[in-house]
Structure 1
Amino acid sequence: MENLVAEILKPLIEQRADPYIIKHADGYYYFTASVPQYDRIELRRSKTIAGLAGADKVSVWRKPDVGPYSELVWAPELHYNQGAWYVYFAAAPSREIKHKLFQHRMYAIRNVHPNPLEGEWEFMGQVDTGIDTFCLDATTFTHHGQLYYLWAQKDVAIEGNSNLYIAPMKTPWEIGGKPVMLSKPEFDWEIRGFWVNEGPSVLKRNGKIFISYSASATDENYAMGLLWADENADLLDPASWNKSATPVLQTCFEHGVYGPGHNSFTYGDDDEVLLVYHARTYTEIIGDPLWNPDRHTYVKPLRWDAQGMPVFGRPSVA
């Protein structure tokens, strides 16, 4: 039984939403996340996860003052694909172009230096999905030698703000096939405040491909769901995927950890899977929750049941 007193979690890094931690072959952990100002991409690295909290912060890319990607830099992810580092992120155009916010599109930058905190970052342009609508939260993964792109995007024919899509990649910055929708908001816990499926993250374990994702508004209603498929299934066939009807991680009112979500997975000692996510520690948010900076990065072990399915537990307890 959980020791609910001794194991109450504290944030690893404060005021960093949409956290992404990658453990690279060089032995370092690399961290990136949305910064409260939404104006840059920031990286840090450490030999330990705990060390990321105090590691030097290096700004590797800053948004321009105007243009199609000059506002609201959201949810960067750092990936090492085909011999180079890439950061995938979403950004919105300046108001003089669209006259309103939240018109995000997805972009990529590349660095061939072994250490992504050094070297030069090259802007690779928009990652065009072939659908010109609001999109964000891209991640990538390789399976059976194929690089895949996984993200959230709005379909004007489907009620809601965003659905989850997958496509093969031609290069690490170009889509190589037609997007396939894997999930849309449909359950009650996915449509609280906003109809949202976003923030996908991929984990391969126990003969399965798991996709975690986040749903609902970014306040205490934010929660995480789960898709899964057999590792030998056709990942581009929606019928290959199962979807949990209930959230796998949600607010813990008892211990005051609210709206957990937008997670990533990394690895600790002995290949232990660690769950990385953000959450808030209070609900009395003034104004739009988007502008509140107090979404903090948490890290905890992921557990497993007898059937090889992940057990996320509570966001407040290790």
Structure 2
Amino acid sequence: MSDSNKTDFTNPSTFILQGIPGLEAAHVWISIPFCTMYIIAIFGNFTILFVVKTEPSLHGPMYYFLCMLAITDLVLTTSTLPKTLSIFWFNSREINFSACLTQMYFIHCFLETESGIFLAMAFDRYIAICDPLRHSAILTNPVVAKIGLAVLLRGCLVILPLVLLAKQWPYCRTNIIPQPYCAHMAVVNLACTDTRVSSYYGLSVLFSVKGLDMIFITVSYIQILRAIFGLPTKDARLKTFGTCSSHLCVILAFYIPNLFISLMYRVGQNVPGHFHILIANVYQSMPPTLNPIIYGVRTKQIRGRLLRLFTHEGT
């Protein structure tokens, strides 16, 4: 019996995305939470952008960085979830080789960009709390724009070698990717050659980019907490800490799942395949869904602007 999963190609024209292998019968049911998350992510992040644009009091560094985060989340969700849902709903499994590499690039580029935005937001909170008198002088609009551009360029440049390496590997085993989108290691693992350089470079990016970002964010928050605990009253401490709470929540929602996924690809051989893939996809979609909710609920200025908007429309 011929094995349709095997072929003799070295440059595949298409890959086949399997969705969640082993759970094909439940794809329609699995699609419900993913579709819900996508709708919330699109609506929530566009709402953040609209609120910041239309409310002059929110035209400041913290909210400009929040807009960058919203745009990044929109790109991340749109890079993966439409194709994922087309697999679940229409069994549309094929993806062009170049499109697969493009999807891989956008996913990982904007994950690195999001990490950089979190670092920029931590820097903003550090200046606002530890050196408030110089905040407006340090984080001017041109400086904020340059930080955003630098973060984007960093993500674009560090991920480019991953895609170039993946493009040059020979794929002579199979063109079936056992998940619903083209993640880096999922594609590279299909190559029929020694791909350790890709794995090592991916790990170096993980630890030198996200790892360093986490270290700098941690250092920033150590200084922030020292400044907060140095305030004279409990009310002042709680009020000041409240300006950081949203940022801390979205950081935890981003870094913990992404580190878990990246390491699970490399050392989680004993994890059942369908569980691994399902959890990875949930974690991939969760931060863009949660970020606008967290900021909308916990940020007084955004919450107030939304209430005024809906109240005005309802009258």
Asked which structure has the greater RCO (Cα within 8 Å, sep 6+), the reply is 2
Report the TM range for the smaller structure's normalisation.
under 0.3
Q: 1 or 2, which has the higher strand percentage?
A: 1
Give TM-score, length-normalised by structure 1.
0.25
TM-score of the two chains, using structure 2 as the length reference: 0.26
**Greater share of helix:** 2
